[in-house]
Structure 1
Amino acid sequence: MKIRRALATAVAAAVTAPVMLLSVTPAFADTKPVAQTQDKQSKPTIKDLEKAAAAAKKAYDKAVQANADAILVLRETLDALSSTHPLAVAAAAAEQAAKDAAAAKTTADQAVTAAKAAIEALPTDATEEQKTAAAAALSEAEATAATAATAKTTADTKFTEAEKARQDARVAAVQAYSAVDKALDDALAAKIAADAALAKAKKEAEEEGQDCEPENDLTAEVTGLPTKLVAGTTTAFSLRVTNGSDRHMDEVIAYAGVHATDKSGLKDTGKFFRLQWSTKSSPKWQDLSLDSYIDGVGALKPGARADVKMRLTLDKATPAGNGVAFIAADFFNEDGSCGGTPGADMYEFDVKAAGSKPGKTEDAKPKPSKTTKPGGNGHTPQGSASATPATNGSLAATGSSSATTSIALAGGAAVVLGAAAVFVVRRRKAGSDA
């Protein structure tokens, strides 16, 4: 008997209300008893999912174009604010006025000094007329100096205000671009979710029999995958699958897929990546293609866990860019019951060119974070896998990373965006064909 796993509730909701796609991360949402019931009553068809995927792609394409247009606007605005923009012209004029006022004050102060020197230079037999003239000259010079000081203060204030207005305009331009950039990130996440749902539904349509239920207490977790990887190196990390439920799982398989693009976000660089896995029961390193799965986990008792050694090798020719790893797990029992993690977690990382220094980095964190923690205490490691990943190549140090777009003001603007990646979970047959 063939089996298939039910679509997650969030995918069904996204199809019936496409606007929700813009807030869905590239996985599936958590499920609740009430939501599961609703999903069974109104499960989306492949046609519905195809429409949702097409709409998500259209929205993503528009977001890409809008982002490109926004970069041009940002560059033009920043350039103008350094030269021809009205605020730049006003700031330049205010700066010149402040310089002129400063020069006038200096001249006036010098006149006061000269007038005082003239009084001190009067001979002892100076006439009252000479003394009166010298005192009048000093008084006039001091009045002029006071006026010049006031004018300088006023000019300095106007220049400060004009320069602040120009800087505020720069900040506003960057913030406007950031909003467009955020919309592009959201559109990409929606496209990934829609493509994943469609691919999953098509695969399931080929199978018959019992629907598999989402199992919150089956978790798949990655540790040791840095947020920055360097081309020409191999990174070892670990994938842990935990059965936090109170049921025995006869066969557990894990899914791990890596997708990457260059900095433009338009060129797929996956051909430069080699993902492999190994377990105690299958110690020989095995390649993991985009749509394959890890079948070396075996059975998991209630509260038990198994670790899979993973290693990711980047060819020296790998272009700098961004990558994501998707992680999930399914289980099958001899009685026909089956299920899996309600969704797939996404781990983001940056790709550095060969010879680069990764700098400070840290372990990648799952997005979205798991909403349900494994139940039970004292998980028991299974004998099918080792908990210690093998190290081959360079394992990056800890630090921070982001595969999201960034703006480099010094260069105008630069976009770093991961292109769409399709998440496909393949499951084996449970039992024989009916």
Structure 2
Amino acid sequence: MSITGLPGKIAAGSGWHKFSLNVLNNSDSTLNDLAFFAGASSDKAGEDLFKSKQVQLQAWDPDNKVWENLDEGGYAVGYVGYTDELKPDYEVDIPLRINVTSSAPVGAGFSLGATIYGDSDAECTGFGDVSYKFQIVSSGTDTTGTKPQEGGEAPVTDDKPDSNTPEVDGSLASTGSSSALPMIGLAGGVAVVAGAGAVFVVRRRRAGAEA
């Protein structure tokens, strides 16, 4: 997985910034029933999600051709798409955009993305994730040419996508692209939404998302 187009610094109140979540199947097996999940957090552990009124996150719905809000429970997080199958060397690109409002706290932030996949019986399930650090800066700050840093943990949830989650088609990846995409595997995860926010508990395993 990778995130492209995200700036390293975002000025509060500067409007929408487009970026994309890319998921590449660099294994030798076809992956079935993939669900794509994204969020924006203020900490690298992915535990302190931004409230939607502070940081707005949206995903492009290719069917209805509209931007859909990601605001599960009032926080900047939610499912961004699903794919029935992803063949080896195929990839999907999911357009996203983020808006840091004037009420957002100045400081660090993380964009977080995760993929969940499994077999038809839901007995063989895997996770892949990626996260990039950006910095929220004061209004009017020059952010031209800034680049995010990779790091942190992505949220993973036990919940399933709802009926409004758009289907995303995969395409054949460009030659050599697999070597440029970072891959981090998760053995399992659970999301617990409590009164103060969302807490994500994850257990890591060796690199590479596996069934």
> Aligned to 2:122, what secondary structure does the other structure show?
coil
- Give the Å deviation of 1:221: 1.3
Distance 1:345 1:421 in 2: 18
Deviations 1:54-99 (CA, angstroms, capped at 9, x unpaired) = xxxxxxxxxxxxxxxxxxxxxxxxxxxxxxxxxxxxxxxxxxxxxx
**Which of the numbers 136, 140, 149 marks the counterpart of 1:365?**
149
Distance 1:335 1:258 in 2: 31
**Which of the numbers 81, 87, 103 marks the counterpart of 1:301?**
87
Q: Which residue of 2 aligns with 1:312?
A: 98
**Which of the numbers 131, 135, 156 marks the counterpart of 1:346?**
131
Structure 1's unaligned 5+ residue stretches are: 1-219, 262-266, 370-381, 387-419, 426-434
Q: Which residue of 1 aligns with 2:34?
A: 252
Deviations 1:85-123 (CA, angstroms, capped at 9, x unpaired) = xxxxxxxxxxxxxxxxxxxxxxxxxxxxxxxxxxxxxxx
Distance 2:26 2:138 in 1: 40
The answer (yes or no) to whether the contact 1:275–1:288 under 8 Å persists in 2 is yes
Structure 1 segment 223-302 matched on structure 2, within 5 A: 223-232=4-13, 233-260=15-42, 270=51, 271-281=53-63, 283-289=65-71, 290=75, 292-302=78-88
Distance verdict in 2 for CA 1:322–1:239, change over 3 Å: same
The answer (yes or no) to whether the contact 2:30–2:86 under 8 Å persists in 1 is yes
Structure 1: which 4+ aligned runs deviate by more than 4 Å?
none
Structure 2's unaligned 5+ residue stretches are: 154-166, 172-196, 203-211
The answer (yes or no) to whether the contact 1:259–1:421 under 8 Å persists in 2 is no
The answer (yes or no) to whether the contact 1:225–1:235 under 8 Å persists in 2 is yes
Deviations 1:154-189 (CA, angstroms, capped at 9, x unpaired) = xxxxxxxxxxxxxxxxxxxxxxxxxxxxxxxxxxxx
- Give the Å deviation of 1:274: 0.7
Distance 1:256 1:383 in 2: 14
The answer (yes or no) to whether the contact 2:37–2:81 under 8 Å persists in 1 is no
Question: TM-score, normalising length from structure 2?
Answer: 0.61
Distance verdict in 2 for CA 1:311–1:298, change over 3 Å: farther
Distance verdict in 2 for CA 1:295–1:268, change over 3 Å: closer
The answer (yes or no) to whether the contact 2:91–2:170 under 8 Å persists in 1 is no
State the one-letter code of the partner of 2:130.
D
- Percentage of identical aligned residues: 29
Distance 1:348 1:334 in 2: 35
The answer (yes or no) to whether the contact 1:279–1:296 under 8 Å persists in 2 is no
Question: TM-score, normalising length from structure 1?
Answer: 0.32
User: Number of aligned pairs?
Assistant: 155
Distance 2:137 2:120 in 1: 46
Bigger RCO of structures 1 and 2 (CA < 8 A, at least 6 apart): 2
Between structures 1 and 2, the one with greater strand share: 2
